[in-house]
Structure 1
């Protein structure tokens, strides 16, 4: 590598400091902006420029400083490639930031590829003011000759200065995004996953004094995992969708004022516990819901979702329910858990609505039937509201 670095320095100095002698050693090329220099040791240097002005701009670089940077970075890349298990190692360096105020490339990228056990390729790239300065070095490898002895293959050095290829990469990425949006628009059915985070409340409460109780607002949490299918209605550009798909909802109802839920055979009570100091007391249910909702989904000029609004209904079935209390007893913390139906309604149904921007929706769900079975528990209807985070 020292030999290649020294050779690169000599070749750069030859091209920049003595253009007349370089031209004499150059093989004629069809392009006036291409210079090829061949040396007696079979090494070849190719210099590609967009125009002659770019060639003259190389005079602004301090070649001794540049060569020292390249030699240091190539050594670091070689060490990293020896310690890596994969066949390719890429490292990026920023000389302009390391040495502010000096004339240095903004970025140098070194890639070491172990293509064969006997060959190695090192590529170095640096970006300067929207142009590309690149150096490619291919080390010599031992190959058997006709006489049975090993011989060195040719060393190859290539220097390129031209238009920034990142512009082409950006164009390719934009084209890929446009194709992806086009394929998305052509599909009539889109699947997505969303997560609902919110709170539970109770509406249309009973007026009976013995059925009065309060919920802790921040403790009565709602969580739902949603797998929805958006079915487009009215053509590939239509903003109208039907939404359906399973939802697994977890409801917490956290009781306040030292109350707990107790169930008898025919009726459920939420009663005060004067003998216990309840730190936590809640009713938890797990419900499988199936919504059916009409939604308008509007997109911006770039084809991304911008605004949506929807409304519809849902039906669900209660999968499980339990109560849990936490309290202090003789200096010890106790947790009691009771799995029970608590005379809750097995089936539920209601209405819901959403309104959203970008990847976040606001939602509200209102259960139209009672939380408990008729005359077997306190009268109340459940309301859930919060935010929905889309994938």
Structure 2
């Protein structure tokens, strides 16, 4: 009877523990389902908000795309860019042609510098002509001095002839000196005549040499003057050519400067147009790519929203099933709790009986222990008696 009561108490305890664990599991499952449902609702709201934001951004991008330049404007910009490129090519060709002209002008300028040497040579020839003129004037002056000296000698000779004639007259009239004086005068006269002849010959030779030198100097002077005139004419031509070259070079420099400014201005315009066109094309391509990306993301989000919506419906169905199951479990738990209460009442009675039996058992155990103690003491006394008897038998 005691064992049956103990078995019923254990069954009631196990059943109660199972009921508690089932209740905890149901509460945990309900809590998890509620948390999952709240999480799904939050995700659904977030996805709906993102979908709305993507739709608004898509609409703004479509509006920006409509405001963006069309293909005709892009083609027009490209055509203008091609025109600028062709104009730039023409300007570059003109600049190259101008550089060729500048190179030719530099070559002509070098020729002019080389002809400056010819100008120097003409100046040297002019100096030489002036030197020959000075030499000719010096020779003419010397010739004039010689002619004056010859005139003086002739005058002296005439005077001596007159004196000689006067002496002859005096001698013939008896007023003169002796025959020796006559001879002396005759010798002096012959000597003077020889000197006069020698002087005349020397004067004639000097005159001939002077005439030859004067003629040579005149010829050299004439040739130098002719060369000088030719050099002066060539110099005038060169100076005119140099002036023309300077004017052409000035005009070419002005044209070069103007072409460089035009080329620079057109290059800047072309660079600005290219940069603007490239920027607009890049922005359009970025907007297009971004719009495509947003459209793709919006499509993916729509699919995800649809999937989550279907999952939400499925979860709601599962939640309904779980709530139905939870209600059934609650009913079962209620029935189990009612049964548990009845069992607890029975268990209380059995526990009280068990306590009574336990007290009785303890009393019996105390009595058994007391009996065992007494038995042990009796055995000890018997052993002592046996030992005394054995000792006495040994002594006898």
TM tier, shorter chain?
A: under 0.3
In terms of fraction of residues, the more helix-rich structure is 2
In terms of fraction of residues, the more strand-rich structure is 1
Query: TM-score, with normalisation over the residues of structure 2?
Result: 0.15
